[in-house]
A and B are shown apart, each in its own frame.
Chain A
Amino acid sequence: MRVLMSENLRIDLDAEMWECRHCNKVLISARDNYKRGLLVYDRDPREIHKPLLDPEKYTLTYAPDPTWCRLIEYYCPQCGTMMETEYLPPGHPPLRDMEFDIDAMKEQWKHRQEVTKEPGGKDYPRRERAHTGQRMARMHTGENEA
């Protein structure tokens, strides 16, 4: 049973491992911080958010100040997909952003079918009927307000 955990990550519940959704690379134990299974790069944020005002003329240029802000990029070690990004002050410990109770998850998924494709990926239709006042009802049905 594999469970999709993000655009880029899934957990193999049987093997208890984090995996890359793009190249199937097995990254690290699902009980561990998935970031420990990735490659990390400390980027000067000005390389992405480039100065758009002339740095010779102005101190602020639309580019973050690299002495205040670093752009941390996380890559899959096999396919090089950027799995996660994080803006941090220089020297700040990276955040453990996802930490799950794998035993509880196994129990939960005993009663579910495996999902192989993210169930979203669409615009949600407005409800055709709504008990939300006439104006909203008109909006929902697409009727002209006039």
Chain B
Amino acid sequence: MNDMHATADDQALLDKFLKDNQLFYGPDPEIMGDHDIGPRSADEERLLSGPVDPHLINLVRGRILAALDEGNTMIEQMGAAPGAKWGDIVASIFTASGDLSMIAPHGVVGFAACVHYPIKFIIKYWTDEPTVGVRDGDGFIHNDSRYGGIHSTDQSCIMPVFWQGRLVCWVSCTIHEGETGGCEPGGMPPSAESRYDEGLKMSPFRVVENFELRRDLVTFLQNMVRDPKLQLEDMKVKLHTCLRLRERVLAVLEEFGEDALTVSLRQHIEDVQEEVRRRIEELPDGTTRVLTFPDSTLRENALLKFSLAVTVKGDTMTLDFRGSSPEFMNRAINTNQASLKTMLLTSYLQNVWPDLPQTMAVFGPVKMLFDEKSLVNGSFETPQPMSLIPLFKAMTIPVIPMTKLSYSLPHRYTAVVAPQYDQPGTFIYGGLTQNGENVGNFCADINGNGQGGRSHRDGEHSISPPFAANCDIGEMEVIEEELPIVRLGAFTLAKDRVGFGKYRGGLGYEMIASVRDTGMWGFMTGCTGSLFTPSQPLFGGYGPPVYPLCKIRGVNIFEQLATNPGRIKFDILDLMNGQTVEGGRYSTHPMAMTFELCQQGEVYMMCQGTGSGYGDVLLRDPAGVIKDIQEDLISHETARDIFKIVFDSKTLIVDEAATRAAREAERRSRLQRGKPFDEFVAEFVTPEPPEHLPYYGSWDDPKVIYGTSNGKRIKMPSDDIQSMFMPNPKDVRIAELEAEVAALKAAQRRG
């Protein structure tokens, strides 16, 4: 049997048979592994080989961008999803081959940057599939990140645009819808133990025919989620946005012709790539690195290494993620490499090269390296609904190695800025509202991350999410009309929880939430950073503190507010330290909470976080420290202990001579306590992670990956990583308690 040789004809027959009889059209590795733009089509080659009129391209580009802007505004104005109202949306246009060309100017670039994957899937698999096809008037829907996407909460409507019978481009729009019908409400279930717990997982399929939604398919989708009205309404919103975009593109075609559109869409992204190559080439050759350590799987505490090395040589740049944590087969926090790349793009376009056109083509000249089965390159079967854990890191942490690479340049493309707070700090909710509606979604506080300190001034407070500069945190009054959540404290900046530095990070704010007028409501949260500082700082600043989830349970705060309103101050530190709500059970927890029912009047509290600090605290202008006191951002104690300034407590007048002396004393103290590097390494560094740490990822050698199997530590070669499978935390707790009971009984028997 081993000497069988197929003739060329036999092989061709076999290939055709396999093509015609593919059992399952899963994500195509060739598509999903390629973040670059494709080669020029024959039309593009013909047009770009000849003279190109830059004025015409500029005209067409302006018209298209105006149309995309209009589309984005339509979604914002009409969208029903909370995310749509706060700007968690985008409208975009792609070349006929499916490469992203342009997005709406204030849209979320990451949403658009991943839609080229499903478009290329549609082109490759559905165009010639007799039971599907791609026709004028079709629209496709998609949400599964494994086919391209950030996580399954984001649903896209994708529409081909035809002109005189030819497909000339694609338009799409995407909304963070929230609810997906997963094992917990809201679309981002931290308790998902398999991808089948995520709810809706839509591979790209046609849901629009002849420019109309197919109601049978819409009903099927509505039936799969907790919020069927939302599903219907936003499918309509996305369809009609695509139709408006189509109308505008057709007007461009009528006025300027097909060649003008084709050449504009392609030239735009080729120009971007040329500029990116130039920008890479002007950087010094070398490697800069950063590490960060998410401290939770959202089910248990675990230290997960996230490693990034950026190497530049000539006009090539390589991002190397090897050595990062292995993937988790039964935890929700994995991401796939396509999702990761889109969020990395967000980081580059927000913090490194924000002046570039917002398109995935930016990454064409950039190579990326991953270990197989790593947390940042998760395999198909891994659950990924809380991919935000590695993705928020991907959006923030590249600024450190990129700043270290680019600091020496004689010019700047934007301000140097330390990393933004990198957790999705918000309540995810689900239940029955006071209006009798079943809902599941998340609060807009996710958009309130503090910015890092800059090279010339402090970071902005709670400015935006790291995935989009133009999102808003919404109006509480509007939210309270729709939801039974009552915000007892809202938007108060979290005093003393600051990324200190010469220029401090912008602060995050406190969220103090309770519920009323419902008998069925619950919250969950999906953040890390309650044990290990989430973001790394820049150039000698300090990072953020860690943030716990705080609860006051077993009590109805509204009853106490009715009888004694003056007693309770809506400040987390005051509530928790003073325990001013009488009779409550007070507790702190990691900010990773699976869905938990909340009784009326119980209190759940968390914070948005601060950005990291920039530069040495001793270099901070004392006037800036005093201003922070005056604005109630820091305490007198912080000013004295951290910034080493001497001032009058009543007048806040700085004693400059005494401050200089205090800072000089601190510098001398540093010189005394600091050790030479080699001596420090000899004392500090251990050959393996400490026994007590549930550690995942490489230690000193990126080719050796640590993990656990059945609760015991294991070491794996990086080219043969096995997926982690974690025990149920409740089983672990039961085993601990059983051991405790056994020990107590044994002690009892001994008398």
- Chain A interface residues toward B at CB < 8 A: 3-8, 33, 35-42, 45, 48-50, 52-54, 57-65, 67-69, 71-75, 77, 79-101, 104-105, 108, 112-113, 115, 118-124, 130-136
* B65: chain A residues within 8 A (beta carbon): 131-133
A39-B676 in contact (CB<8A):
yes
Q: Which of A7, A8, A40, A48 contacts B500 (CB 8 A)?
A: A48
List 8 extra interface pairs beyond A64-B545, A89-B695, CB under 8 A.
A7-B455, A41-B675, A41-B680, A53-B548, A60-B588, A82-B617, A112-B410, A136-B105
Q: Is the beta-carbon distance between B671 and A74 smaller than 8 angstroms?
A: no
Q: How many Å from the CB of A17 to the closest CB on chain B?
A: 15
Contact of A59 among B313, B455, B588, B617 (CB under 8 A): B588
Query: Of A39, A84, A87, A115, which is in contact with the most chain B CB atoms at under 10 Å from its CB?
Result: A87
Closest to B589 in A: A60
Q: A62-B497, A118-B455, A133-B104 are in contact. Are A77 and B674 (CB under 8 A)?
A: yes
Q: How many A-B contacts at CB < 8 Å in the complex?
A: 275
Which of the candidate stretches B66-74, B172-180, B646-654, B724-732 sits at the interface with the other chain?
B66-74
- Nearest-neighbour CB distance to chain A for B397, whole angstroms, equals 12
Please name 30 pairs of A and B residues whose Cβ atoms are closer than 8 Å in the assembled complex, sorted by A. A4-B408, A37-B677, A53-B550, A53-B573, A53-B588, A57-B577, A58-B587, A59-B588, A68-B295, A68-B303, A69-B532, A73-B670, A80-B668, A80-B671, A87-B293, A89-B695, A94-B677, A94-B680, A94-B681, A94-B685, A95-B289, A97-B289, A100-B285, A104-B285, A105-B284, A122-B415, A130-B105, A131-B58, A131-B61, A136-B105
Minimum CB–CB distance for A23 against chain B, Å: 10
CA distance A60 to B69 in the complex (A): 45
- B670–A133 touching, CB < 8 Å: no
* Residue B155 is within 8 A (CB to CB) of chain A in the complex: no
Counting CB contacts under 8 A, is B522 at the interface?
no
Shortest beta-carbon distance from B690 to chain A in Å: 6
Bound CA–CA A61/B678 (angstroms): 34
Which residues from chain B contact A133 at a C-beta distance below 8 Å? 65-66, 68-70, 104-105
Task: Say yes or no: B533 contacts A45, CB within 8 Å.
Answer: yes
A71 to B673 Cα, complex, angstroms: 14
Closest 5 CB pairs of A and B: A39-B674, A133-B69, A80-B667, A91-B686, A100-B286
Q: Which of B537, B577, B684 contacts A53 (CB 8 A)?
A: B577
B531 CB–A CB distance under 8 Å: yes
Max chain B Cβ within 10 angstroms of own Cβ: one of A83, A90, A124, A133: A133
Q: Is B287 part of the contact surface with A, judged by Cβ < 8 Å?
A: yes
B435 CB within 8 Å of chain A: no
**A94, A95, A132: residue with the most chain B Cβ atoms closer than 10 Å:** A132
A25 to chain B, nearest CB (A): 12
* B588 touching A41, Cβ below 8 Å: no
Nearest chain A CB to B598 CB, angstrom units: 19
Bound Cα distance from A37 to B674, whole angstroms: 12
Contact residue among A6, A48, A61, A99 (Cβ-Cβ distance under 8 Å from B542): A48
Query: Measuring CB to CB, which residues of chain B are less than 8 angstroms from any residue of chain A?
Result: 58, 61-62, 65-66, 68-70, 73, 104-106, 282, 284-291, 293, 295, 303, 313, 400-401, 404, 407-412, 414-416, 455-457, 496-497, 500, 502, 530-533, 536-548, 550, 573, 576-577, 579, 586-590, 614-619, 641-642, 666-671, 673-678, 680-681, 684-686, 689-690, 692-693, 695, 699-700
Task: Given A83-B540, A112-B410, A133-B66, check contact A89 B293 (CB 8 Å).
Answer: yes
Q: A4-B407, A42-B680 given as contacts; is B531 within 8 A of A132 (CB)?
A: no
B104 to chain A: closest residue by CB: A133
Q: Tell whether, in the assembled complex, residue B677 and residue A38 are in contact, meaning their CB atoms are under 8 Å apart.
A: yes
Q: How far is the CA of A4 from the CA of B89 in the complex (A)?
A: 40
Contact A62 B404 (CB under 8 A): no
From B291, B412, B544, B576, contact of A95 by CB (8 A): B291
Do residues B590 and A60 form an inter-chain contact, with CB atoms below 8 A?
yes
State A24–B618 Cα separation when bound (angstroms). Answer: 18
Minimum distance in angstroms from A62 CB to a CB of chain B = 5
* Pick from A3, A63, A98, A136: contact of B545, CB under 8 Å: A63
B532 contacts A87, C-beta separation under 8 Å: yes
CB nearest neighbor in B for A123: B415
On whether A65 and B531 interact (CB within 8 A), knowing A5-B408, A52-B496, A89-B303, the answer reads yes
- For chain A, what secondary structure do more than half of its interface residues adopt (helix, strand, loop), or is it mixed? loop
Complex: A121 Cα to B457 Cα, angstroms? 8
Q: Tell me which of B288, B502, B579, B700 contacts A99 (CB under 8 A).
A: B288
Q: Are A79 and B667 in contact (CB under 8 A)?
A: yes
Chain A residues contacting B69 (CB-CB under 8 Å) are: 132-136
> Shortest beta-carbon distance, B383 to chain A, in Å?
25
Q: Is B533's CB under 8 angstroms from A101's CB?
A: no
Question: Contact at A124–B414, with CB atoms within 8 Å?
Answer: yes
Residue of A nearest to B529 (CB): A64
Q: A134 to chain B: closest CB distance in Å?
A: 6
Instruction: Say how far B13's CB is from chain A's closest CB, in angstroms.
Output: 53
Interface centre among B411, B414, B615, B700 (most CB of A within 10 A): B615
Q: Is the CB of A132 within 8 A of B408?
A: no
Name the residue on A nearest B358 (C-beta): A132
**With A6-B407, A84-B540 in contact, is A91–B684 under 8 Å at CB?**
yes
Q: Is the CB of A104 within 8 A of B284?
A: yes
**Chain B contacts for A119, CB-based, 8 A:** 409-412
The complex places the Cα of A88 from the Cα of B404 at a distance, in Å, of: 19
In the complex the two chains form, is A101's CB within 8 Å of B284's CB? yes
Q: Output the least CB separation between A32 and chain B (Å).
A: 10
Question: What is the bound-complex CA distance between A100 and B540, given in angstroms?
Answer: 20
Closest A residue by C-beta to B543: A87
- Whole-angstrom CA separation of A96 from B456 in the bound complex: 26
Q: How far is the CA of A99 from the CA of B554 in the complex (A)?
A: 56
* Pairwise interchain contact A91-B685, C-beta atoms closer than 8 A: yes
Interface residue from B408, B550, B689 paired with A91 (Cβ < 8 Å) = B689
Nearest chain A residue, comparing its CB with the CB of B686 = A91
- Asked if B531 contacts A88 (CB within 8 A), the reply is no
